[in-house]
Structure 1
Amino acid sequence: MPITPRAAHSALLTAFEGHLRHERGLSENTVRAYVGDLAHLVDSLGQPEADVDALLTAVALADLRAWLATMAAEGLSRTTLARRGASVRSFYAWAHDSGRLDANPALRLASARPASTIPDVISTHDVLTLLEVARQRCDDGDAMHLRDWVAAELLYATGMRVGELVGVDVVDVDLRERLVRVMGKGGKERMVPFGEPAAKAVEEWLARGRSALANAASGDALLVGRRGTRADQRQVRESIHRLCRLAGVPDIAPHGLRHSAATHLLDGGSDLRSVQEVLGHASLTTTQRYTHVSAERLRSAYQLAHPRA
């Protein structure tokens, strides 16, 4: 959600943005989304000549309910509506608690719950096929193919988000203990284990790939591009889609490998708390989505195999 030039001059929104970024430690994407949602609220009030801070201060509960109701009527998803409700509740709670507002108009604001969707996953066989294709592709000596291989291996081995992966530095990877330090949402740090295949990929990348590409612009980044700069999320996403096509498996994004890793861990007998720690979920409820996938697989297997299904 882009921030309009009008909203960009708001002292309240500027202070709230600083609060989200520096006090709550939220990611840039989340900060941008929350402030953008409030800019959308301001625009929806239909007073283009009014001061933004004055509008935000004068908002009533009825205005907030009407704003959400209008978006619902326009067909916005429950997930988007839930986030926009969370944005205004966070803003007005902060403004009230910090003494900028005498009352909190969003205190009794209810919003839609996010849609509970079952994550897209691919089978263990398909993941292994994808990873084998990625490994074999490295035989041509192209350093970028090595990077694509190590990215795919680490995404599946650790269940990291793609944004977390590109933020990993060389010093964050302990090949001896096979652990990687991950900086997750809200600046929360966690240590995640990975297996021997991923360790082998990292070793090959450091020896033959990164060493050939690294320069002064690389810094400590584990994954770099052809110019030696830190790899970005778009590059990794494109590489995963490319590998899916080459391997002939269902097309998934990097987040699909994260979903698959979580589901396969649960299928293999791991408990929810352990998977929660690996994925860096703040709430166990988020992790529980993956039990739905496993339950569906169990039901399917039962119906196919049990003589009295």
Structure 2
Amino acid sequence: MENTQYIEAFLDALFLEQGLSENTIAAYRSDLEKFEHFITEQGDAKQILEVTSQDIEQYLAYRVDKGLKSKSNARAISALKRFYLYWVREKQIEQTPLATIAQPKTTQSLPKTLSEQEVEDLLSAPDCDDPLGLRDKAMLELLYATGLRVSELVGLRMEQINLRQAVVLVRGKGGKERLVPMGEEALHWIEQFLKKGRSLLVKHATDFVFPSKRGIGMTRQTFWHRIKHYAILANVKSPLSPHTLRHAFATHLLNHGADLRVVQMMLGHSDLSTTQIYTHVASERLKSLHQQHHPRA
């Protein structure tokens, strides 16, 4: 097989066996294609299953020389390890060339979040007299109330919203499902949008809860641009990312005494250590408040 065929066969196996999301598959493809491009550019142009640990080390040195961060390099190594272990399992190679390659140490960066007042300002920015504004208001309220990933939010279907019980059935990474309560405020604005706004946006039969202005499903990128638009209107100066409200959801819950494992369940984290980073954000906030207001700080 050609190098690209080995990569595609591996990605197909990831999708079929583990149900990974399109975004995760795309990240694996990107990392593997960059490595494939590197080895084909070398003098001997090895086939991808013929590389050695020395080839891997040269590739990592090349990435370091380019100034790529340790987190990016760690992800690249993880993708390569998984790729070669798959072909060991398929008996195409005897051992992985990464057996002696150590994972680079990474520093865990704290997620960027917003203060509670900044969230209030952001959520108040949409014009609810306009169908698109009403849709965006409902989406922002739901995002902050539930901590959904943006991809989970824009992909929501009508069958996943239970207005009577005020819960959302979320289909997350790897096809895992979780039930998340939406709260009274988010429930109110979703009901308002479904009654007054959604029918004005839907031009074709669709079961997406939040259609785009073209009447079809919305992309993550489109909603991200909407968030940035409202941040400008609300004069929110803090750094934003597509997951800013998800981070705010988790941090503010912990600030108000929520149990870490409950937050883990609502976020859909399979590992508690992933959620624990928000305890650091919360503790940094407490330190900041202490320094500002304690007479002996």
> TM-score if structure 1 supplies the norm length?
0.90
> How many angstroms does 1:35 deviate by?
2.1
In structure 2, do the counterparts of structure 1 residues 114 and 174 end up closer, same or farther at CA, with 3 Å as the change threshold?
farther
**Residue number among 125, 139, 153 corresponding to 1:133 in the alignment:** 125
For the structure 1 residues 114 and 222, does the alpha-carbon distance in structure 2 shift closer, same or farther, using more than 3 Å as the test? farther
> 2: CA distance between counterparts of 1:302 and 1:43?
52
Instruction: State how far apart, in whole Å, the 2-side matches of 1:48 and 1:62 are.
Output: 13
Q: Secondary structure at the match of 2:168?
A: strand
1:61 is aligned to 2:49:
no
CA deviation after TM superposition for structure 1 residue 40, in Å: 1.6
Taking the TM superposition and a 5 Å limit, the aligned residue runs for 1:291-306 are 291-306=279-294
Instruction: Indicate the percent of aligned positions where both proteins have the same amino acid.
Output: 39
Change (3 A) 1:21 1:113: farther
Shift of residue 300, structure 1, vs aligned partner? 1.5
Q: 1: CA distance between counterparts of 2:235 and 2:4?
A: 51
Q: What is the aligned partner in structure 2 of residue 183 from structure 1?
A: 171
What RMSD in Å do the two structures reach over aligned CA positions? 2.0
- Looking at structure 1, the residues matched to 116 and 280 of structure 2 have their Cα atoms a distance apart, in angstroms, of 17
Q: What is the distance in 1 between the residues matched to 2:115 and 2:71?
A: 27
The aligned counterpart of 1:37 is 31
Structure 1 residue 50, shift from structure 2 partner: 7.2
How much does 1:89 deviate? 0.4
Give yes or no for contact 1:92–1:105 (8 Å, CA) kept in 2. yes
Q: CA shift at 1:48, angstroms?
A: 6.9
Residue 302 and residue 63 in structure 1: after superposition, are their counterparts in 2 closer, same or farther (change >3 A)? same
| Local SS of the residue matching 1:190 | strand
Distance 2:184 2:81 in 1: 45
Contact 1:122 1:250 in 2 (8 A): no
Task: State the 1:49 CA deviation.
Answer: 9.1
Q: Is the 8 A contact 2:39 2:48 kept in 1?
A: no
SS at match of 1:176: coil
Using the TM superposition, give the Cα deviation of residue 254 of structure 1 relative to its aligned residue in structure 2, in angstroms.
Answer: 3.4
Match of 2:11 among 9, 17, 24: 17
Matched, 1:77 2:74: no
Structure 2 spans left out of the alignment, 5+ residues? none
- The letter of the residue matching 1:77 is K
The aligned counterpart of 1:101 is 93
1:224 to 202, 207, 211: 211
Change (3 A) 1:18 1:46: closer
Give the equivalent residue in structure 1 for 2:190: 202
Moved more, 254-263 or 97-106: 97-106
Aligned residues: 296
Name the TM-score, length of structure 2 as normaliser: 0.93
